[in-house]
Chains A and B, each alone.
Chain A
Amino acid sequence: VFTSNKNESLANVKSKSAITEQPVPWTLDLGSPLSLGITNSQSINMICGKFFRQIERIAWLISIERAVVGNKRGFEELLEETIMSSIRDLLGESSMRAILYHLSLERLGSDPEAFDKKLRELLNAPATIIEEIIIKDLFKRLDLLYSPKGAFDFPRYVNAAKEFYASTEKKTV
């Protein structure tokens, strides 16, 4: 049984190789290697080469897109973490949770204008003090010097920090 199977499999290999020696129609779409007198194995190599170069290019484009999105999410996560830890350290865990519940923002770090507006509506005057603590912490984490000038503007400071974060990320890439 073993011998007959072996013979059968050898026959299969032979017949397969016979098939591969036939011109493959779809190779003509990619530069017509057969017309140039190139052998089938060479044409397959060419096709594979082109195919893998395309795959590499797509992967490279995806990695760029991911880097841009990751950069944005990276800052949002940093801001979110800073907001939470600043409020927690200042007023305690329960107050922090109560504030976040009332703000009902899906992502704390994605919209500083909405955060500012809602916090002011909720707490009035103390909101500015809390926001200033957040900005001081955020700047400290980014190794930036916080030097307040004029009226305090939370979104403006967040945007400045975001720009700085983006520039440092570019340098590291």
Chain B
Amino acid sequence: VTEGDRLHQPTDNLLENLLSSGTKADLLLLFHRNPGLIDTAEGIARRLGKKGKAIETDISQLANSSILKTKKVGGSEVYFLNQEKDKEAQGDIADYITNLGGKRRS
């Protein structure tokens, strides 16, 4: 699955994917409130009051959805917000929700 495929998944799946767990929502909220944040998984977990292992799966999934980016810094892998893709995803979700009311009512 390429990055492009992942980004062009149906938006209802995108919304359900991004909000499939409380930890994922906490991670999104943390990065949206601190858009310049760059930290290791362990450091990010600490900021959420959790242990590194507890967020491992969710942070990897957000990286797979291209909402987060990773890079190696001094032998450690750090995560940061992919602002461009995040904005794109937010736009898709907003469009999806805007059209949702009509679909649900009909």
Contact = CB atoms under 8 A, between A and B. Distances in A.
Interface string B71-106: 000000000000000010011011001101100100
Place the interface of chain B in its size category.
20 to 34
Nearest to A91: B93
Contact of B29 (A122, A123, A126, A133): A133
Nearest to A86: B29
Contact of A129 (B22, B87, B91, B94): B22
Interface majority SS (helix, strand, loop, mixed), chain B: helix
A133 B25 contact: yes
B21 interface: yes
A172 interface: no
Given A123-B15, A130-B19, A94 B94 contact: yes
A65 interface: no
A102 B100 contact: yes
B6 interface: no
B25 A90 contact: yes
A124 B25 CA distance: 16
Given A129-B21, A133-B25, A91 B90 contact: yes
A101 B100 CA distance: 11
- Residue of A89, A90, A94, A97 with most chain B CB atoms under a 10 A cut-off: A90
Contacts of B100: 98, 102, 122-123
21 contacts: A90-B19, A90-B29, A91-B90, A92-B94, A94-B90, A94-B94, A94-B98, A98-B94, A98-B97, A98-B100, A121-B104, A122-B101, A126-B16, A129-B19, A129-B20, A129-B21, A129-B22, A129-B25, A132-B25, A133-B25, A133-B29
